[in-house]
A and B are shown apart, each in its own frame.
Chain A
Amino acid sequence: MENRYEIRYGAVGGQGIITAGALLVDIAVKRENKFALESPTYTATVRGGPTKVDIIISDQRIIFPQACAIDFFVCTYQKPFDLYKERLKDDAIVITDSNLVKDLGDTKNWKLYRIPIINETKKQLGNIILTSVVTLSITQKLTNIIGYDNMVCYIKKWAPEGLVDLNLKAIKLGRDLIN
């Protein structure tokens, strides 16, 4: 099988993971010249319903378009955690929100990080929509699947005028949360 890395973000609608997935794939393709694919789920419940996005990044053309052995999982809510923890590798890197995901069940050989993503985003940045960039930053730091400079460059261009600094703060917050 091709050299592929599978990432899954799980949350409830409105927490910004769809954006995080789109950003990650865009940076991987446009800045790193990699092959990437992202499939978000969607339900009738756009706000508050469980949501996931699967991202596959590879050095070669992606053949199978779904995640089947997930290397990296970020989840910020209990219900999506229960629903979407299937197909994780036994040694996957798993990041959960320490306040909102309480029951982890069998943690296998996961490399586990339990951090207060949502709370800290709200407290330090003032808007949970920025969870998207925080999640992206966490992914970058832990996986190195995209380069740090490429990410910062991309976010500077992508962020709406006047909000660049706030987004850069979000990147910093993501990195700080891991330490």
Chain B
Amino acid sequence: MRRKQVLQGNIIVAKAALAAKCNFFAGYPITPSSEIAQFMSRELPRMGYDFIQMEDEIASLGACIGASLSGRKVLTATSGPGFSLMQEHIGMAVMAEIPLVIVNVMRGGPSTGLPTKPSQADIMQVRWGTHGDHPIIALYPAFADEIYSETIRAYNLSEKFWNPVVLLLDEVIAKAHEDIELPRKNDIHIYKEKIHRIKDLNIYDREIGENPPRVDFFKGYPIHIDGLEHDKHGWPTSDPETVNKMQTLRMQKIYHYLDEIVKFKEYYMEDAEIMIFSFGVSARSSLAAIKMAREQGIKVGLFQALTIWPFPKIPLKERFKRIKKVLTVELNMGQTKYEIERVSSDDVEKKALLRANGIPFTPKEVLDKIREF
């Protein structure tokens, strides 16, 4: 048997990133994510890799994009206010199709907000923070072992789809020290793409549904990477037809592979009459509440989203064919509540347990809400 360890959530992220072969970190200190940077500043130079503390979050993500384009697997970690500053560069990375992993250990907002109380405040910021239509992947672990596996999955997805992936974490979980059994090296699957030797500038030349190859400076033909809308050569263009094609390519590279990206866990769902939709620490409150409710004979189950973006629309629609009562539990004023309204029909009775005052729901509070049905 593997020996159990006690590790802080933030440290689990850092360890998993290293296991996924992360070899570059640029960041800026912000509670409650700083332990990730601290751990990386100690470990990366030991492996002969780079850690740099930049002058702000904008520069941090800039440095990460530069390093990613130079063949590195990068990480940065921040919290809500820093994540706001990163938005322009997230857009740049989406546009130029650059793999990145960004950890956002959320705190109450807006502005400096509640330093540093837990809040599931950035669900919508992750989705629509940067301007323009864009694909984004966001993962949301709740338990210690999920933090590890989802961090690795974040790298695999970012490398496969050539897109930024955001790992959302709740302050409560990131700061807690929890028991965890780390997987063996051989049990970790790390996505390895084919190295495409670039022969010409046409780095973005592909058909809809095809996975893009990873582009790397210094690997062959000198290439051009641009934050402007571009054609298959990476070349700035405003030709409507080309723009349309490139937009579609970028959106489709994710929406073609929903089965692979969208991941969730279900608890007590076989006979459930009420479904709780939740994620992160709220899913943990909900699960504890469900156990109490089941003892009282209430048939309630949990749909825990591990991929929050793209939203698990198809599996949820499937559940709503049978389950006609849904309770959304989230530590904000209703960010995914509206998503649930979008994916469920009118005959589904919807309730939501919402708050954003920095205190996670206790299982008792969730139970009381369940009993309102």
Contacts and interface: CB of A to CB of B under 8 A. Distances in A.
A and B directly contacting (CB within 8 A):
yes
A2 B239 CA distance: 61
A63 B288 contact: yes
Contact of B4 (A22, A33, A64): A33
Interface stretch (A9-17, A24-32, A127-135): A24-32
B16 interface: no
Contacts of B292: 1
Contacts of B281: 65
Contact of A39 (B3, B172, B284, B288): B172
Contacts of A100: none
A97 to B, nearest CB: 25
A37 B362 CA distance: 16
B332 interface: no
A89 to B, nearest CB: 13
A71 interface: no
B363 interface: yes
A66 interface: yes
Given A25-B6, A26-B6, A37 B175 contact: no
Given A30-B4, A38-B6, A64 B362 contact: yes
B89 to A, nearest CB: 29
Interface stretch (B52-60, B119-127, B176-184, B205-213): B176-184
A66 B288 contact: no
**Max chain B Cβ within 10 angstroms of own Cβ: one of A1, A36, A63:** A63
A116 interface: no
Interface string B318-344: 000000000000000000000000000
Interface residues of B, number: 24
A64 B284 contact: yes
B296 to A, nearest CB: 12
Interface in A133-176: none
A25 B179 CA distance: 8
A65 B287 CA distance: 11
Contacts of B287: 63-64
A1 B291 CA distance: 6
5 contacts: A1-B288, A29-B6, A37-B176, A38-B178, A65-B281
Interface of A: 1-2, 22, 25-26, 29-30, 33-40, 42, 61-66, 68
Interface of B: 3-6, 31, 143, 172-173, 175-179, 281, 284-285, 287-288, 291-292, 360, 362-364
> Which 5 A/B pairs are nearest by Cβ-Cβ distance?
A64-B288, A39-B176, A29-B179, A63-B288, A37-B178
